[in-house]
Amino acid sequence: MSGENVIVVKIGGSTLGSHDTTLEDVVALQRQGWRPVVVHGGGAAISEWLEVMEETPARFVRGLRVTDARSLRVVVAVLAGLINKELVAGISALGGRAIGLSGADGGLIRVRRLDPELGYVGQIERVDADLLARLFDAGYLPVVAPLGLLWENQGPQNQILNINADTVAGEVAAALEAQWLVFLTDVPGISGHDGSPLARLSCPEAAALIDEGTVSGGMIPKVEACIRACEGGSRTAIIDGRQLYALLAAVQHGELAGTIIGQPEGLP
């Protein structure tokens, strides 16, 4: 599908606070004729609920959460339930038209098992762009929880898998041929070797920062997702979501408090 006016926005719990304007920005963009998709995380809330439920403490490999069978139940409940519906309610209260779904709904995101070391974690095989397009056409703003439906032997299985939300955002942007992919974080973009923020990186430069370890931990899947999307023509950015109206400033004026990856000149 044509990605004109499609913007994929990845938000996480760390960027949503009492002074955050992200949802206001998303609703404003929808009113202006953009077709936003919100992909959300929820790692902090998952870790909190795992602790409350006295489950195994969180463990990560290359920025990806290790998910066993017991913790998967908490992951699904928190992502597809609590966080997803709170975001839908927040957008609706601001006058937006949102509909919440997970990647398991309607087979939106088909996955296979990623790595036995990670447990119930999926690698994306396909994103159903047509399903999201139908929601756009009906006037809705999709809010997507990062879960997928296991797909084996050419068919769906009775198994939901956890997926890294940053990876979901990148694959959704690529499938939709989105005009923009924006990550809203709690840091001022990507830092270089000396720790100072970098305003712009090419895709090869971003990949090199991962290889040499300058980009590490939870920033790895964000940068990898940007590389995936920008190779398909999307404008990609990792920006500080704590700044007021950061999303609007980036999209409307090219004023980014963060890092552009693979972005050609001529913003916005």
- What are the pLDDT digits (tens) for 163-212? 999 999 999 999 999 999 999 988 888 888 888 889 889 888 999 999 99
State the pLDDT confidence band at 13, using cuts at 50, 70 and 90. Answer: low
Q: Is there a domain that residue 139 lies in? A: yes
Least confident of 26-35, 71-80, 233-242: 233-242
Per-residue pLDDT at 15 exceeds 60? no
State the pLDDT confidence band at 54, using cuts at 50, 70 and 90. Answer: low
Q: Is there a domain that residue 31 lies in? A: yes
Q: Give the tokens for residue 152.
A: 């084996």
Starting at the edge strand found earlier in the chain, the sheet holding 141-145 runs 98-102, 141-145, 35-40, 6-11, 180-185, 235-240, 258-261, 200-201
Which of 65 and 175 is assigned the larger pLDDT?
175
In the prediction, which pLDDT does 263 show?
60
- Average pLDDT, rounded, for the chain: 88
Which of 253 and 259 is assigned the larger pLDDT?
259
Q: What is the pTM of this model?
A: 0.90
Per-residue pLDDT at 11 exceeds 60? yes
Per-residue pLDDT at 68 exceeds 90? no
Per-residue pLDDT at 12 exceeds 60? yes
- In the chain, what percentage of residues exceed pLDDT 70? 92
Domain housing 124? 6-261
Strands 141-145 and 35-40: what pairing? parallel
Q: Is there a domain that residue 251 lies in? A: yes
Per-residue pLDDT at 14 exceeds 60? no
Q: Is there a domain that residue 1 lies in? A: no
CATH code assigned at 204: 3.40.1160.10
- Residue among 178, 161, 219, 233 nearest 9 (CA): 178
Per-residue pLDDT at 266 exceeds 50? no
Q: Is there a domain that residue 267 lies in? A: no
Per-residue pLDDT at 267 exceeds 50? no
In total, how many domains does the chain have? 1
The C-alpha torsion from 81 through 34 and 165 to 159, rounded to 10°, is 60
Cα separation of 264 and 266, whole Å?
7
Per-residue pLDDT at 19 exceeds 70? no
State the pLDDT confidence band at 268, using cuts at 50, 70 and 90. Answer: very low
Give residue-wise pLDDT tens across range 106-163.
999 999 998 888 899 999 999 999 999 999 999 999 999 999 999 998 899 999 999 9
Q: Is there a domain that residue 39 lies in? A: yes
Peptide bond into 197 cis (omega under 30): no
Q: How many CB atoms lie within 10 A of CB 172?
A: 28
Instruction: Provide the residue count of the chain.
Output: 268
Cα separation of 68 and 216, whole Å?
23
Q: Is there a domain that residue 51 lies in? A: yes
In the prediction, which pLDDT does 193 show?
84
Q: Is there a domain that residue 268 lies in? A: no
